[in-house]
Amino acid sequence: AQKVTQAQTEISVVEKEDVTLDCVYETRDTTYYLFWYKQPPSGELVFLIRRNSFDEQNEISGRYSWNFQKSTSSFNFTITASQVVDSAVYFCAPLMRGGGSEKLVFGKGTKLTVNP
Amino acid sequence: KAGVTQTPRYLIKTRGQQVTLSCSPISGHRSVSWYQQTPGQGLQFLFEYFSETQRNKGNFPGRFSGRQFSNSRSEMNVSTLELGDSALYLCASSRERRELFFGEGSRLTVL
């Protein structure tokens, strides 16, 4: 089965705290892409990062960083020095391939609330 | 460059009616995907179109259909609406095997 588990349903932190959002996935594909999206209250899913399964080097983009571990099928996301504007629902989503097509398989999401 | 545009943003229908939602992808993107988001089921894949052909379909009943035009714009239709069809419908466009860019969605309420 292809599925994604985001075990943390909701997280609440105080501004400037670091926070890590967990993601564990299952896939039959030997090569694949992994994505993180952010969904603010407006509803639009905002692309954050794409990672391919070939590259296990961790990535940092400003206050965001991602830890990809293929051996444990995990792709965790850390926000350093969180800000109120980071409050949103965050989704992890592998891109699954099948039948000549591709689709994102989303986790249930983690709702992050950053309090001032 | 303009993002993915979805219309209408909000709509209210009654059971048994049908609805058509529209999606204009980012210029140059030929793949358009549709997702349904509900509090209970989360984000679920509906279908994907590429060059006017449906390439993949999720596990939804036949009341859900879609199409893509030659300019890559896409529409999805839901017939015989049920209360459970109330959801945020998200459209995403992409180039081949690249990140999907989403629109703001069409929020459908079925009464």
Q: What 3 state SS string does B53-100 have?
A: EEEEECCCCCCEEEEECCCCCEEEEECCCCHHHCEEEEEEEECCCCCC
Q: Are the beta carbons of A67 and A56 closer than 8 angstroms?
A: no
Give the residue, A20 or A57, on which the prediction is more confident: A20
The model's confidence at residue A100, banded by pLDDT at 50, 70 and 90, is low
Counted across chains A and B, CB pairs separated by less than 8 A come out at: 59
The residue whose two tokens read 């850390």 is A78
Across the interface, of B33, B88, B99, the residue whose CB is closest to A103 is B33
Q: Percentage of chain A with pLDDT > 90?
A: 58
Helix ranges (DSSP H) in A8-115: none
A89 or B98, which is more confident? A89
- Tell me what pLDDT residue B97 has: 65
Rg, C-alpha atoms of chain A: 14
Which among B55, B52, B97, B61 is positioned nearest to A99, based on CA atoms? Answer: B55
φ, ψ of residue A72 in degrees (nearest 5): -110, 5
Angle at A60 between CA A54 and CA A63, to 5 degrees: 150
- pLDDT tens sequence across B30-44: 999 999 999 989 999
B43 vs A contacts (CB less than 8 Å): 91, 93, 104, 106, 109
For residue range B41-71, what is the model confidence (pLDDT) as tens digits? 999 999 999 999 998 888 899 999 999 999 9
B42–A104 CB contact, under 8 Å = no
Is the confidence at residue B23, as pLDDT, over 80?
yes
The answer to whether the beta carbons of residues B37 and B87 sit under 8 Å apart is: yes
Q: Least CA distance to B88: which residue of chain A?
A: A43
Q: pLDDT averaged over chain B?
A: 94
Could you give the CA distance from residue B5 to residue B25 in angstroms, rounded to a whole number?
7
Average pLDDT over every residue of B9-35 = 96
pLDDT value at residue A18: 97
**List of residues 6+ apart from A80 with CB closer than 8 A:** A18, A63, A64, A65
pLDDT cut 70: percent of chain A above it: 95
Q: Is the pLDDT assigned to residue B96 strictly greater than 80?
A: no
pLDDT recorded at residue A1:
55
A43: nearest CB among B50, B101, B104? B104
Distance from CA of B11 to the nearest CA of A (A): 15
Which DSSP helix (H) or strand (E) runs through B6? Answer: strand B5-7
Residues whose CB is less than 8 angstroms from the CB of residue B40 and which lie 6 or more positions away in sequence, other chains included: none
Q: Is the model more confident about A2 or about A38? A: A38
Nearest to B70 by CA among B53, B57, B91: B53
Residues 6+ apart with CB under 8 A from A70: A53, A56
Per-residue model confidence (pLDDT) at position A86: 96
